[in-house]
Amino acid sequence: MSYDKPIPFIDLASQQARIRDKIDTAMTTVLDHGQYIMGPEVNQLEQDLASFSGVKHAISCSSGTDALLLALMALGVKPRQGVIVPSFTFAASAEVMPCLGAVPIFAEIDPATFNIDPARLDDAMSAAKDAGIEVVGIISVGLFGQPSDYDQLKSFADAHGLWLMDDAAQSYGASWQGRDVGHLGVATATSFFPAKPLGCYGDGGAVFTEDDELAEAMISARIHGMGRVRYTHDRIGMTARLDSMQAAVLIEKLKIFADELAARQAVADRYAAGLGDAVITPKLAAGATSSWAQYVITLPEGVDRQTVQDQLKEAGVPTAIYYPMGMHQQKPYAHYPVAKGGLTVTENLCHRVLALPMHPYLETDAQDHIIASVKNAVS
């Protein structure tokens, strides 16, 4: 099975061609005014993000990881305290706890959504209790673009006196029951890594919150804990600012983001219709929309993933595995508590998931080729 054009896994070149003149102008403006750090673009972007998501505070920062870290610092997470987080996620969601001396407590996911399973949160609490760890909060992760079941997580968090924050590095642009990602948790962190649905041309991130005190703490923490008076310091912080160049890029990309989200949904719909029952296609929970950061299929039990990947590569279809191991299986994290009863869903999916090319510029004929190649490889 052949196809005569290269199929990119993510196509940043087509997007750049669409807005290249605007990016050039925006970059030139930064070069002309020379305020590379905290220039006017940073403030403009924060206003644009806040209005796009309908959130009071949008605080830009240097990466999605720093966004998580700033939120945890502002929430006052202390050494030895526990934070529940799904094991089936990118390292950053769990990494930020040990950075502060705190402890990730690994939770199970729902195989239908790849997101934290509210029904298994009690098991995570029990594991923490057995390890003598006080749990203070939950970080939900909107994996592959779909937000978690926020209502159930919030009820659990409220019942146990926990805060709930969202790692929306992959799900910025999505919504849950009509509410945009960005104001579902007490704080929401996102990433502008180039491959993310809204990405810049380097590293970047943002935290969203409705809470004035949290916002003030995060704004201060991203500049070394600076107080209102320059070179006075209110708290321990770090360098975690977004630079003006990246803000300038994001201002232009945000203008086409809604259109790109609709194009991603169309690609997801075509995949679901074309792949049918050949593989398990991702499903959205009732009332959820996705930003489709990734399109991740689950191969039928017993199908050898490596063989499928090799055949797809042969057919010119790039694929990726998100994620080959749960975080609880990774060496630096193996000693942290795992929900009682184990994480069998996570461990099973790690062997069966396969991400297909997904981006707003995926042409229909390329997608038809991908669908036919996947069907051929699993048959």
Ligand X SMILES: Cc1ncc(COP(=O)(O)O)c(C=O)c1O
Name the residues that contact ligand X, by CB under 6 A.
63-65, 89-90, 92-93, 141, 167, 169-170, 191, 193, 203, 205
| Least gap, CB of 363 to ligand X (angstroms) | 26
Q: Is 345 within 8 Å of 109 (Cβ atoms)?
A: yes
**What residue number has its CB nearest to ligand X?**
64
Please give the Cα distance from 50 to 208 (Å, whole number).
8
| Maximum Cα interatomic distance, the chain, rounded to a whole number of Å | 66
Task: Using DSSP bridges, classify how beta strands 175-176 and 288-289 pair: parallel, antiparallel or unpaired.
Answer: antiparallel
Please give the Cα distance from 300 to 5 (Å, whole number).
29
Measured from the CB atom, is 207 or 261 closer to ligand X?
207
Please give the Cα distance from 189 to 181 (Å, whole number).
10
Classify 18 in phi/psi space as left (phi over 0), alpha (psi -120 to 50) or beta. alpha
Measured from the CB atom, is 7 or 61 closer to ligand X?
61
Measured from the CB atom, is 143 or 354 closer to ligand X?
143
> Whole-angstrom distance between the N-terminal and C-terminal Cα of the chain?
14
Measured from the CB atom, is 92 or 248 closer to ligand X?
92
| Least gap, CB of 270 to ligand X (angstroms) | 24
Q: Which two tokens stand for residue 213?
A: 């005190």
Measured from the CB atom, is 114 or 367 closer to ligand X?
114
| Least gap, CB of 296 to ligand X (angstroms) | 12
**3-class DSSP state of 280:** strand
Measured from the CB atom, is 58 or 374 closer to ligand X?
58
Please give the Cα distance from 338 to 234 (Å, whole number).
36
Beta-carbon contacts of 296 under 8 Å, excluding residues fewer than 6 positions away, are 114, 144, 282, 322, 353, 354, 355, 356
| Least gap, CB of 204 to ligand X (angstroms) | 7
| Least gap, CB of 301 to ligand X (angstroms) | 26
| Least gap, CB of 322 to ligand X (angstroms) | 8
Measured from the CB atom, is 203 or 252 closer to ligand X?
203
Q: Which two tokens stand for residue 122?
A: 């009690």
Give the residue among 200, 227, 156, 186 at the shortest CA–CA distance from 68: 186
Measured from the CB atom, is 157 or 293 closer to ligand X?
293
Q: Is 85 within 8 Å of 337 (Cβ atoms)?
A: no
| Least gap, CB of 63 to ligand X (angstroms) | 3
Alpha-carbon Rg of the chain, whole angstroms?
A: 21
| Least gap, CB of 317 to ligand X (angstroms) | 22
Q: Which residues pair with 109 in a beta bridge?
A: 116
